[in-house]
Structure 1
């Protein structure tokens, strides 16, 4: 089984990186939806988001349940899943949970980073996100746990009064009398992808620290309590969440576009995300702002992870990319290479604007084809790519995490 690239990080480094990866996953939409609004308008953008999240979230939710051994059919399982979901990154989407019993609970958001991003755009965009998108996608996330779960609003934005807190509140109920929710056709199709079927190394239960998330639901996850082995698996699973969400996004884009527009939107989404993600990874791990640091950021970036899904090797100051399951799926790595440099340039320039990439070889279409990337330094600094600047509009681009203790929730 392919070793994870995250194995090389220390336990403390992984505990820092995992919430960063969860937040980076949330920023996929901050990058991608801007281009959907431009191409299709607000209402069609909302429909893309619905199809995207309904297609991916039931698959990756169940993967994380199995990996961390908290599979179930109850409220406890749903809440644990949300805490490890790129749709609800810790603190940026500050979910606070209340549990009444196995079948009844509530949550509210003390801070909703997505709302902070959308409110300046006006109430129509808020309604699109908090009503049109949330209603079907919350239930789609819950269907991985129980097909008769319903997540319904107590109150939600647009906020009245304008500074209302908490930002929103919801009930979560499971009842056999509720109509069964079924997964979408996109979800069914995506289950056959290489991403959905990727096998990752099991967690070593003898490793020091928490090896799973069985037991009590915790108000906040303290990732430092997890073992090195568990954190490696979580990091790889979170990257697969991103790939699955991206593949679902691309399915929605594909049915609305011709080839050239599809590639244009897909590349712009990746370029914006690649730059913001690279800057956050470098800062979180305090990596040097030079060629060595940029190569290390690239090695740890979701573009190239998990290693079991994206085939690449690092040697002699270069990264060589070969045909992989990700190419088969048409995931991010399939749209970069010798003929499409913008996402790779945005990535290394987020480390230092004087950096650039030189890529040689063939675009990877067939199994025998490879390309090789070397990070180089230029004499003049490059301006930040417009796609990165668009993504930086999100408050998530500069969001700072705080340390929180893992305290068990008490059933009330």
Structure 2
């Protein structure tokens, strides 16, 4: 039985409204954890300063592209502070609650945000003040501006205070102003921005949201203190899920470009494969738990079908098949993802580590085997073995993040944020 069509339908269309509302924040958090996986290997290859440079480059080129995509999809295009803040609420750089952004709007051109909790800071503080400064100063300054300029090129994001925290338990952990002023000189366009802007991921067309589906069809209207995903329509959540998966791929593309500019092709592929392996395994585990799935073949098939690495289907063309107590993953050798050179390109018949990690995030007993390797596709079959495999080092590194065990909570009815 084929579990989804690779050409027209979203894999997320198989889910109920409740499942989608649980899954979207999980996908946002998974996108944040991509860097928990990739940056560890960047530090090893290039040192702390090189890692920071890679992070700056990947977010600078990716976030403006996916921010504008989400604005169009959810119908909140504009050029003011409210539009910037709405974009942050649907950005893998700011997953809800884990990166607990709070907002204040003074007028359309002035506002503030602060973080009551920062999961990224919780991950980095144990590494020492130099790493905190790399993240909260070196990386945040140019990347916050890059995200804001997707809405208005004259927007500037500047700190009120930020870590290292003094005192050590200071709350909120940081606070920032956002000011839009025509006198602000737009920052220069970063190198390689055109590659990402013209990528297949940037240009893939997804189905519009059905406005007649029950629930909120978009994010027009006031800025809300939190997004309660159950308030959105099923159609809106399906589109959100696919857009968030594209955010993963666009960030991965930015990472690939930054890594390849710093090392030879073989070393770059190895780093990207390790990044993919780490996030693939942890994401499978969290998807399994979020949907209340078991560990059998049906659970694995569902996790594979919904994994952000293989979505949206119009971008990856991946198929998942089940039958005879086995699950098969069909990876085409021609797709938008292959053309962009992102995660599917580092998987081949001799390099199945990301797929093994993905399956073992559901159950550590899964074995991955090549069933077919043709000019058109790679087919990998999964079956339950007798022996549990140890967690890979790449997944263990990613699990270092507090996001690995993070749990979302119901915060009740969100409040509209009006001008102070």
TM-score band, normalised by shorter chain: over 0.9
Give 1:194 shift. 0.5
SS of residue matched to 1:253: helix
Preserved CA contact (<8 Å) 2:10 2:238: yes
Kindly state the Cα deviation for residue 314 of structure 1 after the two structures are TM-superposed. 2.6
User: CA offset at residue 168 of structure 1?
Assistant: 0.2
Distance 2:98 2:204 in 1: 28
Specify the SS of the correspondent of 1:41: helix
8 Å CA contact 1:28, 1:273 repeated in 2: yes
- 1:321 corresponds to which of 325, 328, 331: 331
1:381 aligns with 2:388: yes
Q: Return the offset for 1:191.
A: 1.1
Checking the alignment, whether the CA contact within 8 Å between 2:215 and 2:234 is kept in structure 1 is yes
Alignment check: 8 A CA contact 2:372 2:380 kept: no
State the distance in 2 between where 1:282 and 1:81 align: 27
Provide the C-alpha distance between the structure 2 equivalents of 1:372 and 1:260, rounded to a whole number of angstroms. Answer: 24
| Superposition map of 1:349-388 within 5 A | 349-362=360-373, 368-388=375-395
Residue 336 of structure 1 and its aligned partner are, at CA, apart by: 1.3
Secondary structure of 2:226's counterpart equals coil
Secondary structure of 1:308's aligned partner? helix
CA distances 1:303-348 after superposition (whole Å, capped 9, x unpaired): 1100110112233332222221111111111111322110100111
Indicate the residue corresponding to 2:242 in structure 1: 236
Q: Which residue of 2 aligns with 1:406?
A: 414
1:387 offset after TM fit, Å? 0.4
For residues 197-222 of structure 1, give each alpha carbon's deviation from its aligned partner in whole angstroms, at most 9, with x where no partner exists.
11001000010100010010000000
Residue 3 (structure 2) aligns with: none
TM-score (norm 2): 0.95
* Equivalent runs, 1:219-234 vs 2, <5 Å: 219-234=225-240
How far 1:291 moved relative to its partner?
2.1
Residues 1:149 and 1:216: Cα distance change in structure 2 (over 3 Å): same
Which residue does 1:29 correspond to in 2?
A: 35
Deviation (angstroms), 1:406: 2.2
Q: Deviations over 1:134-157 (max 9, x none)?
A: 000000001110000010000000
- Cα offsets for 1:78-100 (capped at 9, x unmatched): 00000000000000000000110
Contact 2:61-2:196 within 8 A present in 1 as well: yes
Superposed, 1:29-178 pairs within 5 Å as 29-178=35-184
- In 2, the alpha carbon distance for the partners of 1:80 and 1:74 equals 10
Deviation at 1:69, TM superposition (A): 0.5
Matched residues in 2 for 1:321 and 1:132: separation?
Answer: 38
Looking at structure 1, the residues matched to 341 and 399 of structure 2 have their Cα atoms a distance apart, in angstroms, of 26
User: 8 Å contact 1:198–1:308 — kept in the other structure?
Assistant: yes
Partner of 2:193: 187
**Partner of 2:183: helix, strand, or coil?**
coil
- Measure the CA separation in 2 of the matches of 1:246 and 1:313: 21
381, 385, 392: which one aligns with 2:399: 392
Q: CA deviation at 1:373?
A: 2.2
Match of 1:210 among 210, 216, 238: 216
- Structure 1: where are the runs of 5+ without partners? none
- Inter-partner Cα distance in structure 1 for 2:32 and 2:227: 18
Q: Distance in 2 between matches of 1:374 and 1:23?
A: 28
SS in 1 for 2:156: strand
Is contact 1:312–1:320 with CA below 8 Å preserved after alignment?
A: yes
Secondary structure class of the residue paired with 2:219: coil
Cα RMSD (Å): 1.1
Tell me the TM-score normalised to structure 1 length.
Answer: 0.97
Residue pair 1:337, 1:359 contacting (<8 A) in 2 also: no
Q: Report the secondary structure of 1:316's partner residue.
A: strand
Would the aligned equivalents of 2:282 and 2:398 in 1 still touch at CA under 8 Å?
A: yes
The answer to whether residue 17 in structure 2 is matched with residue 11 in structure 1 is yes
- Rounded to whole Å, the distance in 2 between the matches of 1:137 and 1:107 is 15
Counterpart in the other structure of 2:353: 342
Q: Deviations over 1:336-372 (max 9, x none)?
A: 1322110100111111111121222227xxxx51122
Partner of 2:306: 300
Q: CA deviation at 1:176?
A: 1.1
Q: 1 CA distance for matches of 2:416 and 2:370?
A: 50
Deviates more, 1:401-410 or 1:112-121: 401-410
* 1:186 positional shift: 1.9
Match in the other structure for 1:277: 283
